Amino acid sequence: MEVERIRSLFPILNQEINGKPLVYLDSAATSQKPLTVINAINDYYREYNSNVHRGVHTLGTKATDAYEKSREKVRKFINANSLEEVIFTKGTTAALNIVAQSYGREQLKHGDEIVLTFMEHHSNIIPWQQVAKVTGATLKYIPLQSDGTLTLEDVQKTITTKTKIVAITHVSNVLGTINPIKEIAEIAHKNGAIVVVDGAQSAPHMKIDVQELNCDFYAFSGHKMCAPTGIGVLYGKKHLLEKMEPVEFGGEMIDFVGLYESTWKELPWKFEAGTPIIAGAIGLGKAIDFLEEVGLDNVKAHEHDLVGYAMQQLSEIDGITIYGPANSEKRAGVLTFNINGVHPHDVATVLDMEGVAVRAGHHCAQPLMKWLEVTATARASFYLYNTKGDVDRLAEGLLKAKEFFENVF
Ligand code: 7TS
């Protein structure tokens, strides 16, 4: 599908911000939504809004069918072995917390090690810090190379037989680094550890096959892949999920409830307490249809092109520092940078005046900021609806920002 056709499916892109056509370069924070997704949510509320898994009335059956059909779409999307391995959650953060609070609390004991990297998002650090506090496990970090990549030698050195959990991001939301999950999983498994993958920045942008990666858990968020906020997925290997206790209790997730004891439904529902995120799951199903129509390999190639072009354009501007792998082949569509001597919030404000939306701040990765020896950065992130013209507008905006601040100070 041509990028102009793709853009026409995203109504939000067709507007002016501060008198300039919008250039949206913040998809790593949240992506925009195509009409098919917006319409699917609209249709659910207008035509068959109803609770799921209860009662026999027609609307309830229709809603249940749509909700469970989305689960099948997710299963296929990540090539999970069975529907029991696909749990709907609120997002990546919620999914990672389930693994930490259930698997982590049950399996970890004093002296065990949890291995992370310096490039993790806070959502893949704090749940492990919390579980380490209550179990007596300790955290260890795989070091980074100066270009923000990992080496398998360092992975091998950090993971030992004491390691029980390796929790790692597939793609860094700051550096764009793509980590070799399959190889890391092999090293982890040889040492008797399991691998938890934070897929928030990979599921939207590349074909994911959880069986090929051989990860034990994989978490991602719908809102970064054209679906609404409030829906995400936890994939887990069935034999692990089966022995895990739920972390939330209440309606929906039970089989039998007595006054003093209760039992749980089978997988995946034992992890879905309460009325689930019905409209969100239906929207996610439609988002997957859309991404598959475009083709994940095309999405990935398009973003590689854009980030390569952006790196070239920005490196021609004096006084810009780009963080992360210099080789665009080693990174996904994320470009983090600073204009030397200018605070990234000021850079983002000038860009906004030019209609260009980027994120500035610590990107929920404070340990990584410390490692980069900065307090904050600006970040442009690309998706299937961005164009080289968007990159040109970014570069022009940055020249204006530089000029402006050079003249002021
Ligand atoms: N992990 C990574 C790698 C992320 O990039 C994010 C969100 C999360 C986890 C958390 O996802 P959530 O949907 O549960 O919030 N990252 C960003 C970002 O880079 N800018 O805003 C949110």
Give per-residue pLDDT as tens, 105-134. Answer: 999 999 999 999 999 999 999 999 999 999
Mean pLDDT of 291-305: 97
Residue 364: active-site member = yes
Separation between Cα atoms, residue 371 and residue 119, nearest integer Å: 9
Tens-place pLDDT, residues 275-294:
999 999 999 999 999 999 99
Q: How far is the CA of 119 from the centre of ligand 1 (A)?
A: 12
CATH T-level topology, domain 3-26+296-408: Aspartate Aminotransferase, domain 1 (3.90.1150)
20 burial level (CB within 10 Å; 0-12, 13-18, 19+): middle
First to last CA, the chain: 46
The vertex-380 CA angle with 378 and 382, nearest 5°, equals 165
User: Is the pLDDT assigned to residue 271 strictly greater than 70?
Assistant: yes
Give, using CA atoms, the residue closest to atom 6 of ligand 1: 200
The atom number, within ligand 1, closest to the CA of 198 reads 1
Give 56 or 168, the one with higher predicted confidence. 168
DSSP states of 312-356: HHHHTSTTEEEES-SSGGGB-SEEEEEETTS-HHHHHHHHHHTTE
Q: How far is the CA of 316 from the centre of ligand 1 (A)?
A: 30
Q: Are strands 334-339 and 377-381 parallel, antiparallel or unpaired?
A: antiparallel
For the chain, the structural domain boundaries read 3-26+296-408, 48-292
Q: How far is the CA of 56 from the centre of ligand 1 (A)?
A: 38
The atom number, within ligand 1, closest to the CA of 120 reads 3
The atom number, within ligand 1, closest to the CA of 92 reads 14
Separation between Cα atoms, residue 242 and residue 271, nearest integer Å: 11
Tens-place pLDDT, residues 61-85:
999 999 999 999 999 999 999 999 9
Separation between Cα atoms, residue 8 and residue 1, nearest integer Å: 11
> Of 210, 241, 364, 384, which one is the catalytic site residue?
364
240 lines ligand 1 (CB under 6 A): no
Which residue out of 24, 88, 92 has the highest number of ligand 1 atoms within 8 Å of its CB and is therefore the one to mutate?
92
Q: What is the pLDDT of residue 408?
A: 67
121 lines ligand 1 (CB under 6 A): yes
Q: What is the pLDDT of residue 328?
A: 86
How does the average pLDDT of the chain come out, rounded? 97
- State whether residue 196 is helix, strand or coil: strand
Q: How far is the CA of 140 from the centre of ligand 1 (A)?
A: 22
97 lines ligand 1 (CB under 6 A): no
CATH T-level topology, domain 48-292: Aspartate Aminotransferase; domain 2 (3.40.640)
In which element (H, E) is residue 278 found? Answer: helix 278-294
For the question of whether the overall pTM of this predicted structure is more than 0.95, the answer is yes
Q: How far is the CA of 35 from the centre of ligand 1 (A)?
A: 23
